[in-house]
Amino acid sequence: MNIVFMGTPEFAVPCLKALIDSGENVQAVLTQPDKPKGRGYKLTPPPVKELALTHNIPVYQPESLKKGEDAQKTIEILKSLSPDIIVVVAYGKILPKEVLDIPKHFCINVHASLLPKYRGAGPIQWSVLNGETETGVTTMVMAEGLDTGDMLMKASLKIGENETASELHDRLSELGAKLLVDTIKSVKLDDFTRTVQNDEESNYAPMLSKDLCPIDFSKSAREIHNQIRGLSDWPCATAILDGKRIKIFRSSISDIEYKDKQPGEIVDEKKFTFVCGDGKCINIEELQTDGGKRMKTEDYLRGNSLEKGTILL
């Protein structure tokens, strides 16, 4: 089957690799332009581009598909390729109707949630932030709305008690690749069902921002634990310790409880345990100080001492 693939970040890489490994004819890859990264702001290609080039697949990186000479040129290239399907996985740009109408069949999107829940740019993180215990991947026929198209297939998995959004991201990317291959097979056999989404069951998962980072220690241990998990590895939950900011990447809920302690108070200096608003406690398992390296708490405590009774802000 002739396929054009559109994707940009690491999440999309397993899907592209699965298409290549299954013998599909990936005619071209569209991805976002290279971006400056690191201290030297060196232009760095997206992960999807790197994989495509290793397989000698033509890569196109238009700034937009909606307007401008570059957009029109790219659209003409897509029309000339006449793909059976366009596969879109975390491409990062909205496709105009002119592009959606190009493939013989349709544009298939791989979305990291069990639609119609968690439409939008941050479904993985918000499923953790909201304390969901299950999530998954949905393949759907793309429409002009935001993740509103007819669903084709779903696959689900359980979210671990202490699993971070970054760990869940990796598992969902692999699950998405398998589901995409199954979806392509069903289209080839003309053995698929389009299921209309129930908009009343939908909710929105917006992009993350650093406004979400500061921890409110008056909240419950479960809420704070979900915040730490959901914002790891970026933008990271933060706290102030002795006037300096720390990033917290990993935590666990302790089995101890205090009703007479102040929220944010450190009650175990050897495990970096603090009290939350409901009296339950959280152990910090992994952290980073400003200007320091990310490390496990046990390594941090070898070089830094904590005082019981210190208040995290």
CATH at 193: 3.40.50.170
Looking at the structure, tell me whether residues 245 and 264 fall in a common domain. yes
Looking at the structure, tell me whether residues 62 and 93 fall in a common domain. yes
CB atoms within 10 A of CB 196: 10
Nearest Cα neighbor of 141 from 176, 174, 98, 187 is: 187
- Residue 216 belongs to domain with CATH number: 3.10.25.10
pLDDT of 65 reads 93
For residues 140 and 113, give the distance between their C-alpha atoms in angstroms, rounded to a whole number. Answer: 11
Range of the structural domain that residue 226 is part of: 210-303
Decide if 180 is inside a domain. Answer: yes
Looking at the structure, tell me whether residues 223 and 124 fall in a common domain. no
Sign for the CA dihedral angle at 154, 48, 85, 185 comes to negative
pLDDT of 23 reads 97
Interval 33-54 mean pLDDT: 91
Q: Are 221 and 278 in contact (CB under 8 A)?
A: yes
DSSP codes, 187-243: HHTT----B---GGG--B-PPP-GGG-B--TTS-HHHHHHHHHHTTTTT-EEEEETT
* Distant-in-sequence, close-in-space partners of 259: CB < 8 Å, separation ≥ 6: 279
Q: How many domains does the chain have?
A: 2
Interval 168-172 mean pLDDT: 98
Decide if 144 is inside a domain. Answer: yes
Looking at the structure, tell me whether residues 47 and 133 fall in a common domain. yes
Looking at the structure, tell me whether residues 126 and 236 fall in a common domain. no
Decide if 55 is inside a domain. Answer: yes
Whether residue 297 has pLDDT greater than 80: yes
pLDDT of 42 reads 85
Q: Are 28 and 56 in contact (CB under 8 A)?
A: no
pLDDT of 40 reads 76
Pick the range with the lowest mean pLDDT from 27-41, 171-185, 252-266: 27-41
Given 140, 166, 201, which residue is the final one in a domain?
201
For residues 97 and 149, give the distance between their C-alpha atoms in angstroms, rounded to a whole number. Answer: 13
Decide if 311 is inside a domain. Answer: no
Given 201, 223, 246, which residue is the final one in a domain?
201
Looking at the structure, tell me whether residues 108 and 247 fall in a common domain. no
Given 146, 167, 201, which residue is the final one in a domain?
201
Decide if 308 is inside a domain. Answer: no
Decide if 235 is inside a domain. Answer: yes
Looking at the structure, tell me whether residues 192 and 249 fall in a common domain. no
For residues 211 and 237, give the distance between their C-alpha atoms in angstroms, rounded to a whole number. Answer: 10
Looking at the structure, tell me whether residues 171 and 129 fall in a common domain. yes
Q: Are 136 and 154 in contact (CB under 8 A)?
A: yes
pLDDT digits (tens, 9 = 90+) for 68-114: 898 999 999 999 999 999 999 999 988 999 999 999 999 999 999 99
pLDDT digits (tens, 9 = 90+) for 115-168: 999 999 999 999 999 999 999 999 999 999 889 999 999 999 999 999 999 999
For residues 293 and 240, give the distance between their C-alpha atoms in angstroms, rounded to a whole number. Answer: 17
